[in-house]
Amino acid sequence: MKFQKTFLASSMALALTSTPTYAAFDDAGTDYTNAKQNAHMWTPGMEALDNVNSILCFVEQLKTGEMVNKGRYTALVNEAKCDTGGGDSRDKAPKQQFVIVESVRASDTAAQKTKVWIPGMSVGDGAKGLIKAYASISAEPTQADPLQDFTLRYDMYDESGVQKIGGGYIKATPSSELENGKIGIEFYEQNQFGSETYTSAAKIIKNPDGSDGVAITRAPSWNNNTQVDKYYGLSWNETTKANRVLIKDGDFATNNSDLNGTQSCLAKDQLKTAVWQYGVYDQTTGNEVTLNSGFPISYGSNKQGYIGYWGYWTEDETLPTGDVYKIDYTTEPPTKTAINVSTAPGKLWKNQLKTLTMADIAGVEFEYGAWDNTTSTWQNYLIAYNGTTSQFEKLATVTWGTNGKEVTQLSSPQTLTLNTNDRMFLWSDQLGGQVTISTDGAGSPSSVVIAEKSLVTPDSTDLAGEALSLTCFDRCPKADISTANLSGENVYETTDFSSGYTYTFSKSNMTLANNTGNIAFASTVTKSDLQSSNYQWGVQSGMLIPTANAGSITGYNNLYDGSISTWYEWETGLENWNQYTMVSDASGNAITFDEPLKFELQYVDSMARNGGTSKYNNQNFFLEYGGNGDLWGFPNVDVGDGFFYPAIALKDGTALTKSGDTSANYVVKAWQMEQKMTSVSVAPNCDGLALGDVPGGIPTIVDATLPVNTDSVPSVDGLEPAVINGVVQ
């Protein structure tokens, strides 16, 4: 009995989607043509079902059917594969979860029973916990009963494994227990994070092929930063009304007849698509662009991790200690190669000048901070340059709440008054980060300077010698930054344009230093100290100029007028992502990784996968590709209910220009997509569909009759992962 087929079948049915689609490029047989495309559908009310899909996707990667009766084993699961969005762009190290599994079956007619332990699982707000799960299925899935009597019960504990903080279950009801050949799925989960309790639930009754069904769901929502539970009923029938879903919401319900909200009708054949992953291909050959972005490791007592361009990930979130090995799982058995791993206290970034005209940035939105004299507070805004009036305008205020970034549009644009001969320091994801705007003697914006950033590594041409001498004039960080420096906000030297401050960056330890010590936090400073200061994100320097080129700097005008073509910046902190991970082989030779490829795109609306017009027409984008589908640089937009989508979804075959080239030489193809149904009028589009009640109503507690995994976390010393990212090794 193939346990993993159960998960795949339920995942596809719950999402109300068809099978993956395929597309062709110019030539048959190329990587581009052969690349698979996957899409799932989302709509309000399906968040709880998405939770089910994510859980099933996670467990599917364990390959319990293939590993049944093979004893206890370990697996590495790619959590990102089961998510529907990206994470924090500051931290791009892979997120692989270590899992311990036992799957047994006494005979061909006995139930397959699986126990799972997930130590170190993220449980929200940076906390770690332990999940114990027990799954069972007693019959081979069939076309009439693709889920049979499958059950999964899981319990969540704090990191100690003692205090229970939540749990849930998934339970299938076979057709033998329901009328008219229907099958059922129910789900309930409740978790406690700090003072907040989060509950999701769903019950769905449907045909085995998913063409006809009714469901009720519950999931947390937010209203002005206040959590409220939202209930939804859904009904669909491809025979009665093809490609239509009737939906109704409510503030509280035990079944669909209790819903007190508004009905709406959604069209499955009128979709808006968000793209979460793109493949990048050579425009001439169709070959996929692959990067050496990192590799898996083992360390200590057979603990697992990953090291790459953005840093390291390990089970215990600490620097690997003891014997560390690079693991090559393409060989049988896997090849282990000894490596050395250490960290520098920061990262040195190289910046190369790129200039744009004011016309180039017309309409581009920037984040901008300024003091508000009315409220006597610091206020963040979204601003944009109006190409008609030649002025910057405030468009919205920006705050950070429960759901992250929250944008409140102003009633009308407000002209931003600028000082004469001044500088504005702005931020734009669209243009790759920090942007400097200069004003002229009349206070009008006159020039745009952006920087193309790259990480300095041991094999960078900048370090052809053993050291790099750099001079700083503004925002020059001190050495051995103490807690006293933090409390007094005294982490920088006094600005000095007479001689500046000289630093040395050493290739041997990849660390910036001055004549008194390393530019880093003192050993007595803790993460807790930083969290209670203004430096929880670390300390970033101002411009560090090669000392040989620093003689002409006499003031701010020289520093920020765009005359400096190359400069550096140092960041230091106590987090993995703002420290440089140094890797070398057994002989001490540095091992480095490919940096992300940089692309330029002048976007026009004809490139849009969804068609239509947008405010981004004829705007410039600076994109980066980290390999394995990770293309970033498009802004995210709030689509409601706390969800953010990329503002742009590119058509397959859209051409990109590699930074520094004069013509396009690469194309993209969507790999992972999320599709959202368009709302249409209820009548006549959803005539004939009815929101009937589901037997028993929506679950309100965990089903206590299901078997529970109460066993302690077993020892796995000496066990290499038997399954990695869904592939049996």
The reply to whether 68 and 148 lie within a common domain is yes
| Mean pLDDT within 242-253 | 94
27 falls within a domain: no
Count of domains observed in the chain = 5
**Counts for the chain of helices (H) and strands (E), in that order:** 7, 44
628 Rama class: left (phi>0) / alpha (psi -120 to 50) / beta: left
Residue with tokens 């508000």: 372
Higher pLDDT, 61 or 301: 61
| Mean pLDDT within 437-443 | 87
Boundary of a domain, candidates 546, 578, 610: 578
* pLDDT-based confidence at residue 374 (cuts at 50, 70, 90): confident
Higher pLDDT, 299 or 489: 299
Residue 402, pLDDT score = 59
The reply to whether 571 and 625 lie within a common domain is no
Residue 225, pLDDT score = 58
Cα dihedral: 529, 532, 535, 536 (round 10): 90
Residue 85, pLDDT score = 45
Higher pLDDT, 569 or 434: 569
Boundary of a domain, candidates 425, 452, 479: 452
* pLDDT-based confidence at residue 226 (cuts at 50, 70, 90): low
The reply to whether 371 and 461 lie within a common domain is no
Cβ atoms of residues 471 and 500 within 8 Å? yes
For 461-485, what is each residue's pLDDT tens digit? 999 888 999 999 999 999 999 999 9
Decide if pLDDT at 673 tops 70. Answer: yes
The reply to whether 97 and 207 lie within a common domain is yes
For 315-327, what is each residue's pLDDT tens digit? 878 888 889 999 9
Decide if pLDDT at 421 tops 90. Answer: no
For 630-658, what is each residue's pLDDT tens digit? 999 998 887 765 677 899 999 999 999 99
* pLDDT-based confidence at residue 142 (cuts at 50, 70, 90): confident
90 Rama class: left (phi>0) / alpha (psi -120 to 50) / beta: alpha
| Mean pLDDT within 276-291 | 94
For 521-553, what is each residue's pLDDT tens digit? 999 999 999 999 989 999 999 999 999 999 888
Q: Give CA–CA dist 472/550, Å, rounded.
A: 9
The reply to whether 212 and 259 lie within a common domain is yes
Residue 20, pLDDT score = 37
Provide, rounded to the nearest whole percent, the portion of the chain with pLDDT above 90: 58
Decide if pLDDT at 93 tops 80. Answer: no
Higher pLDDT, 112 or 225: 112
- CA dihedral over 541, 543, 545, 551, signed as positive or negative: negative
The reply to whether 425 and 507 lie within a common domain is no
Residue 39, pLDDT score = 86
33 falls within a domain: no
Residue 640, pLDDT score = 66
Q: Give CA–CA dist 196/204, Å, rounded.
A: 27
703 falls within a domain: yes
119 falls within a domain: yes
Residue 50, pLDDT score = 82
Instruction: Give burial (CB, 10 Å; 0-12/13-18/19+) of 502.
Output: middle
Six-digit token pair at 190? 């409740």
Nearest Cα neighbor of 539 from 530, 529, 526 is 530
Provide, rounded to the nearest whole percent, the portion of the chain with pLDDT above 70: 92
| Mean pLDDT within 568-586 | 95
Boundary of a domain, candidates 452, 486, 504: 452
- CA dihedral over 662, 622, 574, 481, signed as positive or negative: positive
The reply to whether 496 and 385 lie within a common domain is no
Decide if pLDDT at 90 tops 60. Answer: no
Residue 135, pLDDT score = 95
Lowest mean pLDDT among 38-42, 457-461, 481-485: 38-42
Q: Give CA–CA dist 627/288, Å, rounded.
A: 10
614 falls within a domain: yes
Beta pairing class for 303-308 and 36-42: unpaired
The reply to whether 118 and 69 lie within a common domain is yes
Decide if pLDDT at 88 tops 50. Answer: no
Biggest CA–CA distance in the chain, Å, is: 86
> Which runs of consecutive H residues, i.e. helices, occur in 501-585?
527-531, 556-560
Q: What is the mean pLDDT of the chain?
A: 87
| Mean pLDDT within 717-727 | 84
Six-digit token pair at 633? 């640089």
The reply to whether 66 and 141 lie within a common domain is yes
| Mean pLDDT within 571-600 | 94
Q: Give the DSSP H/E element, type plus range, for residue 305.
A: strand 303-308
| Mean pLDDT within 397-414 | 83
Nearest Cα neighbor of 187 from 60, 41, 54 is 54
312 falls within a domain: yes
Residue 278, pLDDT score = 97
23 falls within a domain: no
Q: Give CA–CA dist 659/77, Å, rounded.
A: 34
Tell me the one-letter amino acid at 38: N
Six-digit token pair at 136? 């069972």
Residue 241, pLDDT score = 93
Question: How many other C-beta atoms are found inside a 10 Å radius of the C-beta of residue 606?
Answer: 9
Q: Give CA–CA dist 576/346, Å, rounded.
A: 9
Lowest mean pLDDT among 260-264, 556-560, 581-585: 556-560
State the first-to-last Cα distance of the chain, in angstroms, to the nearest integer: 20
Look at the chain and count its residues. 729
Query: How does 382-410 read in b/e, with b if 16+ C-beta sit within 10 Å?
Result: bbbbeeeeebbbbbbeeeeeeeeebeeee
* pLDDT-based confidence at residue 11 (cuts at 50, 70, 90): very low
The reply to whether 599 and 474 lie within a common domain is no
Question: Which of 139-148, 226-235, 292-301, 386-395 holds the top average pLDDT?
Answer: 386-395
Residue 223, pLDDT score = 60
36 falls within a domain: no
| Mean pLDDT within 295-305 | 86
Higher pLDDT, 118 or 9: 118
Residue 556, pLDDT score = 79
Residue 124, pLDDT score = 63
Residue 19, pLDDT score = 36
| Mean pLDDT within 297-304 | 84
Q: How far is CA 566 from the centre of its chain?
A: 31
Residue 22, pLDDT score = 40
The reply to whether 129 and 250 lie within a common domain is yes
* pLDDT-based confidence at residue 84 (cuts at 50, 70, 90): low
* pLDDT-based confidence at residue 253 (cuts at 50, 70, 90): very high
Distances (CA, A) of 639 to 272, 274, 396, 642, 646: 11, 11, 16, 7, 10
The reply to whether 108 and 248 lie within a common domain is yes
Six-digit token pair at 456? 């300095």
Structural domain of residue 523, as residue ranges? 456-578
Residue 9, pLDDT score = 31
Helix axis angle, 3-14 to 47-60, nearest 10°: 160
- Listed in sequence order, the residues at least 6 apart from 443 whose beta carbon sits closer than 8 Å to its beta carbon are 417, 418, 419, 420, 422
